[in-house]
Structure 1
Amino acid sequence: MKRFLSIIALAALSLVLAACGSSGEASGGDESGDGSKEITIGYFPNINHVAGMVAEEKDLYSETLPDGTTVKYQYFPDGSAFMTAIETGDIQGGLVGPGPAMNHFTSGAEINVVGAGSTGGTVIMARKDANIESPEDMKGKTFISPRVGCTHDVQFETMMKEEYGITSDRTGGEMKHVTGKPATYHSMFTTGNVDAATVPEPWASVIEEKGSGKVLVDTKDVAYGETLPAAVFVTSQDLVENKPDLVQSIVDGHKKATEFIQDNPAEAKEIAIKKIKEITDQELSASVIDNAWERINFTYEVDAEVLQEFANSSHDLEFLKEKPDLEGLVDTSFIE
C-alpha cells in the first residue's frame, strides 16, 4: 500500500472510507526502500477485530515476521473492500466477517481462512417507540444491516425465517431492508429512519448506553450467535501455497494478539478504545466496551463445519444463487 487511508471526522458516527493505492505482488508484499519486505494487514474498527488493533498497538507482527519486514495496516469500512484488497494483493492478510470471505470464495476468489478472530458480538436492537416488543412485531418494519448478505444480515434473516416465518422485501417478505454503517445506527434510531438493526458490537452497546434502542435479541439467541466466527483471518491461496513460512509468521502474530487479549482484557479494552478513536474519531466509553466484551469470545480457532452451515443459510435466503461448497476454504494447519 503506497498511501494511507483518509480518515474522515465522523459527525454522523460513520466509519472510515476505504481507499488504497496499488501494492506489491500478492505473493509477498512490497519491497520497501531498503530492500526489506513490506506486509500490510487489514481489519475493521469493530470490537470483533480487537486482535488487529492489539497486534498494531503492541507491534506483535514484528516479533514473528522475518527480520527486516515492515508491517503496515489498512482499515476497511466493509467486507467487500477488504476482500478486493486481498485478491489484488494490496494486503497480505487480516480480519473480515465470514460472510464476505465465503461469498468471494464461492465466486472464485483464491483465498483461505487460516484462523478466526472472535465469535459472537451480533445483537438485534429495536428502536424505542417502534412498537417492537418481540421478533414477531417485525412485520411491516424496517431493519438495517451493514450490507446486503453480510454476516449480521444472514444471522438475523436466518433467525427470522426459521423461527418466525418472516422474511425481507428482497424475497417478497414483510420486512423492509436497508443498509448503512453500524456507527450511524444510533443516529438513525434517533431520527426514526429505521425500526431495528442487526448490529455488530460495540455499536449495539452504544445504542443501549445512549438510550435510543433496546436489545430485541441478544447474541446467544441470534442464529449462529455463539458458534459462528464473527471475524476470520484471511490470506491468499497464493501465499499459502508459495510462501507458507510467511503465512505461518503472520498467523503466529495474530495468535499472539489473540492470546494477549485473553490474558490482558483490561489493557486490550484500553487499546480498543484508543484505536477506535484514532480510526473513526468516535470515543467509546469504558462501560460500552465492558458491555460489548461480554458478548464476544476472542479465539483463533475456526470450525469449517459451522462456516458451511452458515453458507447453506445464505443460499437458503437467496443471497447465493448456487448451493455453496466451501471445501478448500479453511486451512487450519497454521493454527494447529
Structure 2
Amino acid sequence: MKKWSVMLSVLLVLTLVLAACGGKKEPAAGAGNNSGSKAAAKTVRLGIFKNVTHAPGYVALEQGLFKKYWGENVKVDVTAFDNGSDFSTALATDQIDLGFVGPGPSTNQFLKSKNFRIISGSNNGGAVLVAGKDSGINSVKELAGKTVAIPTKGSTNEISLRLLLQQNNLKVTTDKTGVQIIARAPADTLIAMRQKEIDATLIPEPWGTQMEQEGIGKIITPWDQIPPNNGNYPLTILVASDKFLKDNRELAKGAIKANADAIDFIKKNPEKAYEQVNNQLKALSGKGMDTSLIKAALSHLNLTTDVDKAAIEEMAKVSIDAGYIKDVKKEDLDLSKFLDLSLLNEVKQGK
C-alpha cells in the first residue's frame, strides 16, 4: 500500500506541474496587448537651404505641417545647407532622407549615383542679375571682360547665367576676352559687391534686392527674364532618396502635402508668411532678415508643385557643356528616372 501511495503522490505532483505549464500561454508574436505601448519613434532627416527661395519648406516647418502628415511619433531632424552640391552629396550618401534643393547640382549628382528622385516642385524662379552701381554695366552684353559671381559652381544660378550669356553671344573664359565666373556664397557676394571686387552677380533673391536697396547694385535682368523660360524654371524642388521612397512612401507623400499646403498658405496669407519665413531663417542661419526683403523675395517667386522636365533637361545640357556632368553626351541624356511624380499625382487626385 505504501508503494501505491507514493506512486499516486508522484503522479499528482506531475499532473499539477503540467497543468501549470499549459495554463499560461505566451502572446503570439506581434499580437496586441493592453500595455498601451506606442510604435517605435522614427526620425526623418530633412535638408533645406538657408535661403528665402525655400519659403514653402520654411512655412511647413514653422506650422508643423510635416508632423501633421507624419504623426507626432515622427521626429523631424533638419539640416541647413549653404549650397546644392553639399546637399546633393548628403542625400546620395544617406546623410539625409529628403529635402529642398535646386535642379542644377541635384541633376549632376543623380547622374553619378542614381539613388534619389524628384518627387515635387516647390518654387520656380527667384534669381536676378545684379551689376555694381558704378560698374558701368547696364545690359548683359556689357558683361564682356567682367567678373560675375554665382553662389556655387554647378549651381542652378550658374546654369541660368550661362544660358543668359549664350543668348547674348558671350563666352565664359578665364581671362578678359569673355566673362569670368567665380563662386561666392551670397553673403560673401554682398561683401564683394560693397568692396567692388566683382562686377556683377546672378544671385537668388532677396540678395539682389538688398544690393539695390543699399545702393551698391542695380538689377539689370529681373527674375522674370532669367532663363530658361523667363523665370518659370525649377529653382527649388523636393527630392527624396530611393531608400526613403521604398521604405516610407506614405511619409514621402506627407512631405509633398506639407509642401503643397505651405505654398497655398503663402499665396493666401503673404503678410503672415513673412514672419513665419523669418522665424525659420533665424532658426536655421542664426540671423533674421528685414521684412521688406522677404516681401520682395516672395513677390519674385512662382511657387508651384509642378515640375518642368524639359527645363531641367535643358539645364542639364548646359552642365554637360560646362564639364560638370561627365561621361554623358547631350544626345544620350535621359532623366526619365530622375522624376518620380507618382506620389504628387496621387496628392493632386486627393488620394
Counterpart Cα distance in 2 of 1:239 and 1:290: 34
State whether residues 145 and 175 of structure 2, in contact with CA within 8 Å, keep that contact through their aligned partners in structure 1: no
Residue 259 of structure 1 corresponds to: 264
Query: Which residue does the alignment assign to 2:325?
Result: 320
> 1:99-123, CA deviations, whole angstroms, 9 ceiling, x for partnerless residues?
1111111112311000111011010
Query: More deviation in 103-112 or 286-295?
Result: 286-295
- 5 Å-filtered alignment, 1:1-336, equals 35-161=40-166, 163-169=167-173, 174-224=178-228, 225-321=230-326, 322=328, 323=330, 324-336=333-345
Q: Are the aligned partners of 1:48 and 1:117 in contact in 2 as well (CA < 8 Å)?
A: no
Residues 160, 227 of structure 2: 8 Å contact kept: yes
AA at the equivalent of 2:73: G
Residues 242, 172 of structure 1: alpha-carbon distance in 2 compared, 3 angstrom cutoff: farther
1:125 touches 1:198 (CA, 8 Å); kept in 2?
yes
Distance apart, 1:171 and its partner CA: 9.9
Kindly, what percent of the aligned residue pairs are identical?
27
Q: Where has structure 1 moved over 6 Å in runs of 4 or more?
A: none
Judging by fraction of residues, say which structure has more helix: 2
Aligned-residue offset at 1:170: 5.3
Post-superposition shift, 1:301?
A: 1.5
User: Please, what TM-score do these two structures have when normalized by structure 1?
Assistant: 0.85
Measured against aligned partners, the alpha-carbon deviations of 1:217-261 in whole angstroms (never above 9, x if no partner) come to 111111124221110101012222343222212222222222222
| 1:123/1:204 contact within 8 Å kept | yes
The verdict on how the C-alpha distance between 1:308 and 1:128 changes in structure 2, with shifts beyond 3 A counting, is same
Task: With the length of structure 2 as denominator, give the TM-score of the two structures.
Answer: 0.81
Structure 1: which amino acid aligns with 2:171?
A: T
Deviation, 1:72, is 2.0
Cα offset, 1:267, TM superposition: 1.2
CA distance in 2: counterparts of 1:88 and 1:108, whole angstroms: 9
User: Counterpart of 1:154 in structure 2: which amino acid?
Assistant: I
Does the 8 Å contact 1:185/1:207 carry over to 2? no
TM-superposition CA deviations, 1:266-320 (whole Å, max 9, x none): 1111112232233334432222122222210111111222211221232234432
Gaps of 5+ in 2: 1-38, 346-351
Query: Does the CA-based 8 Å contact 1:166-1:173 persist in structure 2?
Result: no
Contact 1:56 1:73 in 2 (8 A): no
- How many pairs are equivalent? 303
Letter in 1 for 2:179: M
> How much is the aligned-residue C-alpha RMSD, in angstroms?
2.0
Q: What stretches of structure 1 of length at least 5 have no aligned partner?
A: 1-33
